[in-house]
Structure 1
Amino acid sequence: MPKIDISFILLSAICLIIGIFLGIWMAAAHDFQFAPVHAHLNLLGWASLALFGLIYRAYPTLQASWLAKAHLLLSGSAAFAFPLGIYYSIAHEQHGLAIVMSFVTLAGVVIFFVNLVRAFFFASASAPAVAQPIA
């Protein structure tokens, strides 16, 4: 499996591509009912995943924990499934997926926070959590 930072950044780029295609489709059709889907793809997908990836890149100690893999699994899957759930809510009035994925999104962010606290306050002195220059 690729490094956590690279995985987050690649997933973010996929979300950006899908979000842009959706935005173009909505503009061409003059139908913006799925604007919340577009917004969540761009915010949870592109922006959040890219920031997570850059933070993992800046602080490599964060990647050493199983929490990083759990975070990637939860946030990576939620970035795609939560907008899909919003689509089903709008198009078919089926809210279950959106509700479940909102909690998966929350769980991913909480795990990220726990990993930050672990690395910044409880990491061993041999593995500093300070940012390293990118080579």
Structure 2
Amino acid sequence: MRDLSKWFFAAGALCALAGMAWGIQMSATHDHTLSPAHGHLNLIGFVTLTIYGIYYALTPDAAQSKLAPIHLGISLLAVIILVPGIAMAISGAGETLAKVGSIVTIATMGLFIFMILRHGVGVKQ
């Protein structure tokens, strides 16, 4: 997939923007109840997606693999499930979504490890 790293970077930047806005909202309302969900949005959404994007930018062989777009999709799904799941768990609406999101998040890291071991890091010479 061409521009795979671009999609990881764009998604990461969107998560950072949403996390910043959410942080401002929490500060303005003096209600930090959902700060763990906010923190996971920043960590899994911004930091992790951006690191994945850096890896794929540095390792074009990995970015061209058939697993790379799947990695993107699962990574986005992880953020979409995990962050609301944590917010729901904190709010008392159940922990199921947070648990599912956690498993999907672990799967994205497992796939990342696989990609590193399979393709290495950087351009092959």
CA deviation string 1:46-103 (max 9, x = no partner): 1110111011101111112122112111111212321110011111331111000100
Classify the secondary structure of the residue corresponding to 1:93: coil
Give the Cα separation in 1 of the matches to 2:122 and 2:46. Answer: 25
Aligned to 2:122: 130
Distance 1:64 1:34, change over 3 A: same
Give the Cα separation in 2 of the matches to 1:131 and 1:16. Answer: 29
Aligned to 1:88: 88
Give the Cα separation in 2 of the matches to 1:104 and 1:131. Answer: 29
Aligned to 1:100: 100
Give the Cα separation in 1 of the matches to 2:12 and 2:5. Answer: 11
> What TM-score, normalized to structure 1?
0.85
Contiguous gaps of at least 5 residues in structure 2: none
Aligned to 1:59: 59
Runs (4+) off by over 4 Å? none
Equivalent AA in structure 2 for residue 130 of structure 1: G
Comparing 8-17 and 71-80, the one that deviates more: 71-80
Distance 1:118 1:49, change over 3 A: same
The higher radius of gyration belongs to 1
Equivalent AA in structure 2 for residue 99 of structure 1: K
Identity of aligned residues (%): 33
Comparing 87-96 and 101-110, the one that deviates more: 87-96
The number of equivalent residue pairs is 124
Aligned to 1:6: 6
RMSD: 1.6
Give the Cα separation in 2 of the matches to 1:85 and 1:23. Answer: 18
Equivalent AA in structure 1 for residue 10 of structure 2: L
Contiguous gaps of at least 5 residues in structure 1: 121-128
Aligned 1:114-125 pairs, distance under 5 A: 114-120=114-120
